[in-house]
């Protein structure tokens, strides 16, 4: 074996030269890895004993893409062309894939003549999720292998496609036995030699792209079908344009188009925000005082208290991950209803092709119901998801303390109550933690893990790990009203309401926030959720706009009217009725309604959020500014291409945000007091996120 550089070995195995890359954690295409590929190909070509070459990786995965942290940084280095070296090789090159071949990793593999993979491997071009497009020829090579339609789907979703499916699509030439990748790849290379197969290059395969030439409707239909999903994002459109180039331009010209568009995205604000978000999510898993080697508590069974919407959704997460769950309810009919909702959810997913009918049964088989809390005696973790009332929660935790085995984690899904107070009724507050799921809990990615005063490090470490296992993105927060997400939301909600009393209409406010990139504005959201949540007819006295609307039976989308009027297709229209109600309220309050600009609406809604984020950091309720951003992107629809409130504040300029807060403070009082941390950052010329 010859070491070619710090991350690359070359060895001859029979008549096959094997290049092995080893650059943990994911063999990303750093400069040494890129150089290693070039050196490896050169070694294989120079080795008279080698008739073919295999490119393989050590560790958990094949190349998982370019080194994201290094993207966009300018270096004055000697240009190298490892992709070209692979493609120009005069001896057949076989990529041997395990783990994931992603982005630049798959692009390197597409420059090889053949690709083999173990069945557990996955391939994808996920650059779109970083606000980018594949910039190493992938946009021109993938459509040549799989055709434009599949390339559109793969590149605009960024999906990691299982190897068997890649095999069917033609991305992978052969599957080899799990655990025997090296032997399998070498055997494949020998077969290529024995059969004297030509040096097939993906760039020369033109049938599928030629077949699509002169059919712009393929792209028009794709754009139309996905317009909603892609709204606001630049990268999906740029990926589509590259595939159009693959269809309409010769290969080398297509590569130039790709390069031009790649550079444009790379230097843009969206990709910077999306790359920041990638690392922010990973950073959120790191808790400074909870080291990596903190002992974990094995969680093999979970109990959920409450079979309502929240409890059911939470249970599904665990069943999906193969962890048995017991759901405890007080009444049989509530339990039956809860279980049947879960089944219906699974069946709906199956009917859309997301899972198989067998999966439905398997998952349902992992969920059992009980009316007896003693069923929780043996579980490793309990998550309480009942009505938000302190007395009820305290009663449940007192019982859990008596029933659950020593070492079990006792979690509450509360979104509002003080977890220290809940923990205080137990003899083991170190076992108590908040797991704040977001509704619908089986869909929403975010999990706020709430650390109470006495929560043990093992319980925290286990909860963070478990979150990843069940497909959640977790951030650790402290106990304070609303925790991090809802506390910041409170600021935006308050401003939306106040703006209405100053002359802005709900649809103006919603439009500004929608155009900013939120999936919907606060008033459309209220209409969707139902204006009557928490509203009691008998007690309603027309004191608020919400009261007035509900009293007219305008209780939201479900009644065909709320803040908005809804037509038969549930399309929202500004409502003259609502407008009149608001105008009457404003007139009664003696305020002179004024014209409020879109820019003011945005600043009024968002600056206080940044300010609250600063207060949260000041109080230590979030570990770092990027955790606040992770929460807002994954739980509240903050557009990822705008990085989250703290990143956004930095982009706007913290001095500008501070000036805005000072103005609001002077005009409207202490609710708007600038956070001391914000003042400090500005004084020191610092940013939250960089």
- Residues at the interface with ligand 3H9 (CB under 6 A): 25-26, 28, 61, 64-69, 100, 102-104, 107, 126-127, 130, 132, 134-136, 138, 282
Instruction: Please say whether the beta carbons of 345 and 442 come within 8 A.
Output: yes
Quote the least distance from Cβ 546 to ligand 3H9, whole Å. 43
Instruction: Please say whether the beta carbons of 22 and 58 come within 8 A.
Output: yes
Quote the least distance from Cβ 69 to ligand 3H9, whole Å. 5
SS3 (DSSP) at 18: strand
As a whole number of angstroms, the distance between CA 632 and CA 280 comes to 12
Catalytic residue among 127, 244, 495, 612: 127
Nearer residue to ligand 3H9 within complex by CB, 164 or 482: 164
Instruction: Please say whether the beta carbons of 572 and 562 come within 8 A.
Output: no
Return the exposure string of 334-357: e unless at least 16 CB atoms fall within 10 Å of the residue's CB, then b. bbeebbebbbebbeebbeeeebee
Nearer residue to ligand 3H9 within complex by CB, 28 or 243: 28
Angle at 547 between CA 542 and CA 551, to 5 degrees: 85
Quote the least distance from Cβ 627 to ligand 3H9, whole Å. 14
Nearer residue to ligand 3H9 within complex by CB, 68 or 93: 68
Quote the least distance from Cβ 675 to ligand 3H9, whole Å. 29
Three-state helix/strand/coil letters over 297-366: CCCCCEEEECCCHHHHHHHHHHHHCCCCEEEECCCHHHHHHHHHHHHHHHHHHHHCCCCCHHHHHHHHHC
DSSP class per residue in 106-158 = HHHHHHSSEEEE-TT-EEE-GGGGGT---TTTHHHHHHHHH-HHHHHHHHHH-
Nearer residue to ligand 3H9 within complex by CB, 19 or 125: 125
Quote the least distance from Cβ 578 to ligand 3H9, whole Å. 45
Other C-beta atoms lying within 10 Å of the C-beta of residue 214? 9
Query: Which residues lie closer than 8 Å to 262 by C-beta, 6 or more apart?
Result: 132, 133, 134, 135
Quote the least distance from Cβ 111 to ligand 3H9, whole Å. 12
Quote the least distance from Cβ 67 to ligand 3H9, whole Å. 5
Nearer residue to ligand 3H9 within complex by CB, 468 or 580: 468
Query: Which residues lie closer than 8 Å to 470 by C-beta, 6 or more apart?
Result: 317, 318, 320, 321, 323
As a whole number of angstroms, the distance between CA 497 and CA 589 comes to 14
Nearer residue to ligand 3H9 within complex by CB, 63 or 315: 63
What separation in angstroms does the CA of 133 have from each of 179, 243, 461? Answer: 32, 11, 35
Residue 568 annotated to the active site = no
Nearer residue to ligand 3H9 within complex by CB, 126 or 608: 126
Nearer residue to ligand 3H9 within complex by CB, 65 or 674: 65
As a whole number of angstroms, the distance between CA 191 and CA 613 comes to 60
The residue assigned the tokens 């050169």 is: 42
Residue 127 annotated to the active site = yes
Catalytic residue among 35, 107, 249, 448: 107
Other C-beta atoms lying within 10 Å of the C-beta of residue 287? 17
As a whole number of angstroms, the distance between CA 365 and CA 322 comes to 10
Quote the least distance from Cβ 106 to ligand 3H9, whole Å. 8
By annotation, the residues acting in catalysis are 107, 127
């Amino acid at each position: 074996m010859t070491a070619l550089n710090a991350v690359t070995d070359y060895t001859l195995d029979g008549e096959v030269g094997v290049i092995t890359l080893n650059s943990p954690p994911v063999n990303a295409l750093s400069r040494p890895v890129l150089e290693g590929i070039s050196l490896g190909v050169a070694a294989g070509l120079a080795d008279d004993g080698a008739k073919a070459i295999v490119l393989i990786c050590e560790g958990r995965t094949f190349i998982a893409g370019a080194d994201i942290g290094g993207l966009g940084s300018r270096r004055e280095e000697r240009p190298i062309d490892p992709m070209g070296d692979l493609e120009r090789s005069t001896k057949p090159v076989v990529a041997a894939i395990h783990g994931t071949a992603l982005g630049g990793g798959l692009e390197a593999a597409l420059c090889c003549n053949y690709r083999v993979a173990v069945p557990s491997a996955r391939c994808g071009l996920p650059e779109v999720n970083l606000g980018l497009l594949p910039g190493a020829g992938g946009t021109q090579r993938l459509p040549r292998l799989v055709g434009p339609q599949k390339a559109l789907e793969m590149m605009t979703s960024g999906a990691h496609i299982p190897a068997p499916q890649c095999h069917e699509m033609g991305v992978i030439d052969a599957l080899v036995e799990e655990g025997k990748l090296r032997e399998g790849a070498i055997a494949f290379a020998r077969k290529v030699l024995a059969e004297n197969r030509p040096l097939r290059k993906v760039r020369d395969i033109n049938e599928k792209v030629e077949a699509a030439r002169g059919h712009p409707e393929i792209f028009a239909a794709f754009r139309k079908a996905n317009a909603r999903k892609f709204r606001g994002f630049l990268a999906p459109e740029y990926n589509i344009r590259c595939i159009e180039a693959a269809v309409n331009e010769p290969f080398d010209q297509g590569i130039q188009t790709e390069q031009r568009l790649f550079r444009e995205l790379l230097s843009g604000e969206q990709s910077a925000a999306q790359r920041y978000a990638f690392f922010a999510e990973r950073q959120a898993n790191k808790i400074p005082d909870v080291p990596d080697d903190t002992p974990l508590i094995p969680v093999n069974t979970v109990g959920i208290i409450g079979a309502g919407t929240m409890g059911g959704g939470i249970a599904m997460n665990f069943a999906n991950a193969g962890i048995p769950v017991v759901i405890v309810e007080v009444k049989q009919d509530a339990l039956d209803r809860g279980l049947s909702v879960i089944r219906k959810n699974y069946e709906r997913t199956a009917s859309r092709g997301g899972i198989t009918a067998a999966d439905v049964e398997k998952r349902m088989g992992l969920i059992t119901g009980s009316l007896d809390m003693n069923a929780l005696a043996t579980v490793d973790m309990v998550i309480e998801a009942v009505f938000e009332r302190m007395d009820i929660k305290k009663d449940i935790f007192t019982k859990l303390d008596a029933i659950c085995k020593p070492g079990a984690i006792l979690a509450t899904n509360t979104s509002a109550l003080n977890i220290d107070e809940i923990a205080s009724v137990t003899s083991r507050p170190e076992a108590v933690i908040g797991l704040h799921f977001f509704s619908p809990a089986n869909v929403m990615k975010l999990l706020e893990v709430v650390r109470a005063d006495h929560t043990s490090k093992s319980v925290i470490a286990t909860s963070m790990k478990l979150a990843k296992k069940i497909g959640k993105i977790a951030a650790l927060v402290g106990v304070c009203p609303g925790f991090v997400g809802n506390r910041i939301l409170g600021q935006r909600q308050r401003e939306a309401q106040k703006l209405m009393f100053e002359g802005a209409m709900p649809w103006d406010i919603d439009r500004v926030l929608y155009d900013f990139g939120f999936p919907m504005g606060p008033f459309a959201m209220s209409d969707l959720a139902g204006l009557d949540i928490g509203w009691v007819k008998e007690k309603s006295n027309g004191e608020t706009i919400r009261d007035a609307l509900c009293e007219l039976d305008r209780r939201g989308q479900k009644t065909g009217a709320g803040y908005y009027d809804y037509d038969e297709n549930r399309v929202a229209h500004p409502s003259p009725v609502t407008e009149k109600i608001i105008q009457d309220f404003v007139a009664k309050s003696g305020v002179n309604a004024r014209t409020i600009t879109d820019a003011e609406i945005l600043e009024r809604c968002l600056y206080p959020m940044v300010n609250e984020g600063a207060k949260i950091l000041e109080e230590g309720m979030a570990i770092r500014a990027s955790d606040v951003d992770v929460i807002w992107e994954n739980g509240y629809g903050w557009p990822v291409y705008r990085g989250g409130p703290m990143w956004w504040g930095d982009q706007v300029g913290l001095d500008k945000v501070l000036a805005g807060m000072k103005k609001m403070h002077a005009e409207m009082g202490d609710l708007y007091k600038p956070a001391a941390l914000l003042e400090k950052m500005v004084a020191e010329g610092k940013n939250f996120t960089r």
